[in-house]
Chains A and B, each alone.
Chain A
Amino acid sequence: MNATKHTISILVNNQPGVLQRVASLFGRRGFNIESITVGKSEEEGLSRMIIVTIGDDQKLEQISKQLYKVIDVIKVIDISANPMVERELALIKVNAEPSIRPEIIGVVETFRATIVDIGPKSIMVQVVGDSDKVKAMVELLKPYGVIQLTRTGVAAMIRGV
Chain B
Amino acid sequence: MSTLTLKATNKELYTKLMQPDVITGSEILLRSLLLEGVDCVFGYPGGAVLYIYDAIHGNPDFNHLLTRHEQGAIHAADGYARSTGKVGVCIATSGPGATNLVTGIATAYMDSVPLVIITGNVMSTAIGTDAFQEADITGITMPITKHSYLVRDVKDLSKIVHEAFHIASTGRKGPVLIDIPKDISAHKTEFNYDNQINIRGYNPTVLPNKLQVERLLKAIDEAKKPVILAGGGVVYAGAQEELLEFVSKTNIPTITTLLGIGGFPSSNDLWLGMPGMHGTYTANKALQSCDLLIGIGARFDDRVTMKVDGFAPNAKIAHIDVDPAEVGKVVETAIPCVGDVKKVLELVNQKAKAAQSEAWIQELQMMKKEFPLKYKDDNKHLKPQYVIEMIHKTTEGEAIVTTDVGQHQMWAAQYYKFNHPRSWITSGGLGTMGFGFPAAIGAQMGNPDRLVVSINGDGGMQMCAQELAICAIHNIPVKIVVINNQVLGMVRQWQEIIYDNRYSHIDLSGSPDFVKLAEAYGVKGLRATNKEEAQKAWQEAMDTPGPVLIDFIVEKHENVYPMVKQGSTIDEMLMGDS
List residues of chain A with CB under 8 Å of any chain B CB: 12-13, 16-17, 20-21, 24-25, 28, 58, 61-62, 65-66, 68-74
CA distance A57 to B143 in the complex (A): 24
In contact, A69 and B323 (Cβ under 8 angstroms): yes
Knowing A58-B328, A61-B328, A73-B201 are in contact, say whether A17-B323 is a contact too (CB < 8 A): no
CB distance from A72 to the nearest CB of B (A): 6
Give which listed residue, A12, A21, A65, A74, contacts B142 with CB less than 8 A. A21
As a 0/1 sequence over residues 303 to 325 of chain B, the CB contacts with chain A under 8 angstroms (1 = contact) are 00000000000000000000111
Q: Which residues of B contact A28 (CB under 8 A)?
A: 143
Knowing A16-B150, A24-B143, A71-B202 are in contact, say whether A65-B138 is a contact too (CB < 8 A): no
Q: Which residues of B contact A70 (CB under 8 A)?
A: 201
In contact, A74 and B200 (Cβ under 8 angstroms): yes
CB distance from B430 to the nearest CB of A (A): 15
In contact, B325 and A24 (Cβ under 8 angstroms): no
Q: Which of A62, A65, A70 has the most CB of B within 10 A?
A: A65
Answer whether residue B167 sits at the interface, using C-beta atoms and an 8 A cutoff.
yes
Q: Which residues of A contact B329 (CB under 8 A)?
A: 62
Interface residues of B in 158-211 (CB under 8 A from A): 167, 172, 199-202
CB distance from A119 to the nearest CB of B (A): 37
Q: Which residues of A contact B324 (CB under 8 A)?
A: 65, 68
Knowing A13-B201, A71-B199, A71-B202 are in contact, say whether A66-B325 is a contact too (CB < 8 A): yes
| Chain B residue with the shortest CB-CB distance to A13 | B201
As a 0/1 sequence over residues 115 to 150 of chain B, the CB contacts with chain A under 8 angstroms (1 = contact) are 000000000000000000000001100110011001
Q: Which of B142, B146, B150, B323 has the most CB of A within 10 A?
A: B142
A-B contacts, 17 listed (Cβ < 8 Å): A12-B201, A13-B200, A13-B201, A17-B139, A20-B139, A20-B142, A24-B142, A25-B143, A58-B328, A61-B328, A62-B325, A62-B329, A65-B327, A68-B324, A70-B201, A71-B199, A73-B201
CA distance A25 to B146 in the complex (A): 12
CB distance from A49 to the nearest CB of B (A): 13
Given contacts A13-B200, A65-B327, A70-B201, 9 further A-B contacts (CB under 8 A): A13-B201, A28-B143, A58-B328, A66-B325, A68-B324, A71-B199, A71-B201, A72-B201, A74-B201
| Chain A residue with the shortest CB-CB distance to B200 | A74
As a 0/1 sequence over residues 279 to 322 of chain B, the CB contacts with chain A under 8 angstroms (1 = contact) are 00000000000000000000000000000000000000000000
Knowing A13-B200, A62-B329 are in contact, say whether A71-B150 is a contact too (CB < 8 A): no
Q: Which residues of B contact A61 (CB under 8 A)?
A: 328
In contact, A71 and B138 (Cβ under 8 angstroms): no
CA distance A146 to B325 in the complex (A): 44
As a 0/1 sequence over residues 405 to 434 of chain B, the CB contacts with chain A under 8 angstroms (1 = contact) are 000000000000000000000000000000
Interface size on B, residues (CB 8 A): 19
Q: Which residues of A contact B172 (CB under 8 A)?
A: 69
Q: Which residues of B contact A58 (CB under 8 A)?
A: 328
CA distance A68 to B146 in the complex (A): 12
CA distance A72 to B167 in the complex (A): 12
In contact, A68 and B142 (Cβ under 8 angstroms): no
CA distance A17 to B202 in the complex (A): 17
CA distance A109 to B113 in the complex (A): 61
Interface residues of B in 319-352 (CB under 8 A from A): 323-325, 327-329
Q: Which residues of B contact A13 (CB under 8 A)?
A: 200-201
CB distance from A153 to the nearest CB of B (A): 22
Knowing A13-B201, A74-B201 are in contact, say whether A68-B325 is a contact too (CB < 8 A): yes
| Chain A residue with the shortest CB-CB distance to B147 | A71
In contact, B138 and A17 (Cβ under 8 angstroms): yes
CB distance from A61 to the nearest CB of B (A): 6
CB distance from B268 to the nearest CB of A (A): 34
CA distance A3 to B526 in the complex (A): 61
CA distance A66 to B328 in the complex (A): 12
Top 6 A-B residue pairs of the complex, sorted by shortest distance between their CB atoms: A65-B325, A71-B147, A74-B201, A71-B202, A65-B324, A66-B325
CB distance from A38 to the nearest CB of B (A): 16
Q: Which residues of B contact A17 (CB under 8 A)?
A: 138-139, 142, 150
Q: Which residues of B contact A12 (CB under 8 A)?
A: 201
CB distance from B568 to the nearest CB of A (A): 24
CB distance from B145 to the nearest CB of A (A): 10
Q: Which residues of A contact B138 (CB under 8 A)?
A: 17
| Chain B residue with the shortest CB-CB distance to A63 | B325
Q: Which residues of B contact A24 (CB under 8 A)?
A: 142-143
CA distance A80 to B296 in the complex (A): 34
Q: Which residues of A contact B146 (CB under 8 A)?
A: 69, 71
In contact, B328 and A62 (Cβ under 8 angstroms): yes
| Chain A residue with the shortest CB-CB distance to B149 | A15
CB distance from A10 to the nearest CB of B (A): 10
| Chain A residue with the shortest CB-CB distance to B327 | A65
Knowing A13-B200, A16-B150, A24-B142 are in contact, say whether A71-B325 is a contact too (CB < 8 A): no
CA distance A62 to B332 in the complex (A): 12
